Amino acid sequence: MGKLHFGAAWYPEHWPQERWAEDICLMKEANFSVARLAEFAWSTMEPAEGEFRFDWLEQAIEMLAEAGIVTVLGTPTAAPPAWLVQKYPDTLAVDEYGRRVQFGNRCHYCVNSSEFHRATRRIVCAMAERFGKHPKVIGWQLDNEYNRVCYCSHCLAQFQVFLREQYGTLDELNARWSTAYWSQTYSDWAQIPIPIGGHNPGLMLAFRHFVTRSYRDFQKVQLDELRPHLPPSVWVTHNFMDWFGAFDHYEISRDLDLASWDWYIGTGHHDHLKTGAAHDLVRGYKRKNFWLMETQPGNVNWSKTNNVLNKLEARAMAWHAVAHGADALLYWQWRSALGGQEQYHGTLVDQSGSPRPFYEEAQLIGAEFARLSDLVAGSTIQSKAAILNCYDSRWSIEFQRHNSDFDYVAYLEHWYRPLAARNVDIDIISADELLDGYKLVIAPAMIVLDEGRVERFKAFLKRGGRLVLTLRTGMKDRHNALLPFRQPGALAELAGVEVEDYYSLENPIPVGGKLFQGSASLWAERLRLLGQRFTTVMARYGASNGWLDDQPAIVVNPVEGGFVYTVGTWLDSQSQQTLVNQILVNSLLKPFESPAPVEVRTRVRENGTALHFVINHSREHQVIALPWPAIDHIGGQKFAQGNLTLYPYAVALLTKQN
Ligand code: GLA
Ligand code: ZN
């Protein structure tokens, strides 16, 4: 039986053992079910090469267990110790200017260093032997927030080997990258550099693939040591940073049992449409529920203004995470260490060892999680709408934005927001996934196109799907070269249009039709109808640069079974909402209605019972119209059909009553 877990990162190695019992007692009173340990404790676990000290960790795990708290162990590889880098200086990464990075922050390792792999194997193997079968260690987190890109000579050599594997011959590589351009033709693999700044787009994309491969290999080094020691019920994860862009998260997640991520607001307050997308993204890494491995207890220490979250804001955020598929929430971190770089970060217990005001809110969340665990655990999100995310497309656009304000993730969010604002449950998934089960699929800026994608779209449309294609679609191949066709390439027939030209816009221009009169920014594509019988123009550009005046901007094309929308520009948010509303109607999706700051999300239990999470993300009272009588499992109240008033930051978990 699964569980809805609640806890924090705890670093017992920062504190004398005499204090541990008191901390654990406070954790228990905060209704913790889990603690995360050891992720940066390399120098404590292996103070000198091959000398291990694990008794303290075992003691901490046992003490937690006595209080009913299970453990997630982190492998400590994000914090390589001083003795290691002193003895093997090549384990330190090199930045793009050729400088060795300094020891003493984190992730200072070269991900491809064989010495570092050796050291990693040793510590992970030792941890696995000691704790792999420990009944109270339920899961493992590898490393912490993979992020560094290394430019050392070793990485360069490996990159060249990787390219040889990928391309086979230099002729093939030269052709794919059009290297005759600017005399880039390579006659020896050793001539190929790691790109620094702008470079050949094919080379740049290949390097991202190499970084992905490097982390995947590094992770495999750890998995190979760990897995043989783990019973089947014990899982392995990594804590990702949502939209972090240096590698393909789908690739890296492939070898993990579950995905997890670290959620921070930084300055300001929670924007539930933004973080909803982040949760849904992480849920899509493995297409299943995830763990929120870290989140901020009140405030961070690294942002511009490290303001605290409002009272009860974190509780709304906690339930929002669960509503989007989190099966656990852990704060970072339990107690403020007296030294180290993060002295001012939010914690539950302060430097004196006393609970901070925030502790009380954590206690409340913990109590609610514990009480509702049986109801919520095991339930999943069953979205009928999906947004496709493609790292290759994102990178391709990031390398050559053509309009410096054109941001792939922002554009994806531009589609997510109006859908989420209408309380549509959304999966954000890899553009290479199967599309079974969806009614609506949106493919924002899917610039990289291949046959597999076209075939999946065709199958999806045949089943009656609604497909939304957008600007910057179907222009590039897998090597980041232009396809020798007009956009959207092999999708043109389905779309009923082709792109005659694309325009980077200096200023917003008018765009509109029957549905709305609005404005288009950043990018506009001039669509040409291919003469199919039922293709309909939904919006045209107004007067602007002459080339676009009165030309089609948005088109819908009925195809066998379904509909294909082509949206050739970046609409203002109001028009985008209107368009999305219309697409929802056509997709036969009828989401729950609520005022803007109120979010309604649904998880479905195995027996089919729908759990509706209703969250007021504002500091004002809000009213929603309940379409049926319901019971609120958080507040323990029954509500009649009709108006339901939600107090500031209120959270309800409703099931329908007959
Ligand atoms: C990251 C790290 C944590 C901690 C937090 C602070 O997410 O994973 O160890 O440093 O930031 O916000
Ligand atoms: Zn390196």
Minimum-distance ligand to the CA of 108? 2
Quickly state the pLDDT bin for 316 (edges 50, 70, 90).
Answer: very high
Per-residue model confidence (pLDDT) at position 579? 98
Per-residue model confidence (pLDDT) at position 75? 98
Q: Which ligand 1 atom minimizes the distance to the CA of 9? A: 9
Question: Token pair of 312, please?
Answer: 């009860």
Residue type, 451: E
pTM: 0.98
* pLDDT at 303 > cutoff 70: yes
Q: Which ligand 1 atom minimizes the distance to the CA of 144? A: 8
Measure the CA–CA gap between 483 and 475, rounded to whole angstroms. Answer: 6
* Annotated catalytic residue within 294, 361, 413, 525: 294
DSSP string, 579-642: HHHHHHHHTT--PPP--TTEEEEEEE-TTS-EEEEEEE-SSS-EEEEESS-EEETTTTEEE-SE
Ligand 1: residue of 75, 294, 331 to mutate (most ligand atoms within 8 A of CB) is: 294
Percent of the chain residues topping a pLDDT of 90: 99
Per-residue model confidence (pLDDT) at position 514? 97
Contacts of 296 (CB under 8 A, 6+ apart): 263, 264, 265, 309, 314, 331, 332, 345, 346
Distance 295 CA to ligand 1 centre (A): 9
Minimum-distance ligand to the CA of 331? 1
Distance 156 CA to ligand 2 centre (A): 7
Measure the CA–CA gap between 484 and 148, rounded to whole angstroms. Answer: 36
Distance 437 CA to ligand 1 centre (A): 37
**Which protein residues touch ligand 1 with a CB less than 6 Å away?**
144-145, 262, 264, 294, 300, 302, 332, 342, 345
Count the helix, strand and coil residues of the chain and give each as a percent rounded to the nearest 5: 35, 25, 45
Per-residue model confidence (pLDDT) at position 658? 81
The whole-number average pLDDT for the span 354-360 is 98
Ligand 1: residue of 10, 106, 262 to mutate (most ligand atoms within 8 A of CB) is: 262
The whole-number average pLDDT for the span 631-656 is 97
Summarised one tens digit per residue, pLDDT across range 36-79 is: 999 999 999 999 999 999 999 999 999 999 999 999 999 999 99
Minimum-distance ligand to the CA of 157? 2
Ligand 1: residue of 342, 343, 344, 347 to mutate (most ligand atoms within 8 A of CB) is: 342
Integer-rounded Cα Rg, in Å, for the chain is 26
* pLDDT at 1 > cutoff 80: no
Summarised one tens digit per residue, pLDDT across range 439-485 is: 999 999 999 999 999 999 999 999 999 999 999 999 999 999 999 99
Residue nearest to atom 10 of ligand 1 (CA): 342
The whole-number average pLDDT for the span 587-592 is 91
Mean pLDDT in the chain?
97
Minimum-distance ligand to the CA of 76? 1
Distance 401 CA to ligand 2 centre (A): 28
Residue nearest to atom 6 of ligand 1 (CA): 300
* pLDDT at 376 > cutoff 90: yes
β-strand pairing of 509-512 with 536-541: antiparallel
Catalytic annotation on 593? no
Which residue, among 568, 406, 564, has the nearest Cα to 501 in the 3D structure?
Answer: 568
The whole-number average pLDDT for the span 605-631 is 97
Residue nearest to atom 1 of ligand 1 (CA): 262
Measure the CA–CA gap between 6 and 507, rounded to whole angstroms. Answer: 48
Residue nearest to atom 3 of ligand 1 (CA): 332
* Annotated catalytic residue within 129, 145, 251, 493: 145
Distance 144 CA to ligand 2 centre (A): 18
Contacts of 93 (CB under 8 A, 6+ apart): 100, 101, 107, 108, 109, 110, 111, 148, 150, 151, 152
Measure the CA–CA gap between 596 and 337, rounded to whole angstroms. Answer: 40
The whole-number average pLDDT for the span 88-106 is 96
Measure the CA–CA gap between 566 and 552, rounded to whole angstroms. Answer: 10
Catalytic annotation on 433? no
**DSSP alpha helix (H) spans, 88-180:** 114-131, 153-167, 170-176
Distance 332 CA to ligand 1 centre (A): 7
Q: Which ligand 1 atom minimizes the distance to the CA of 264? A: 12
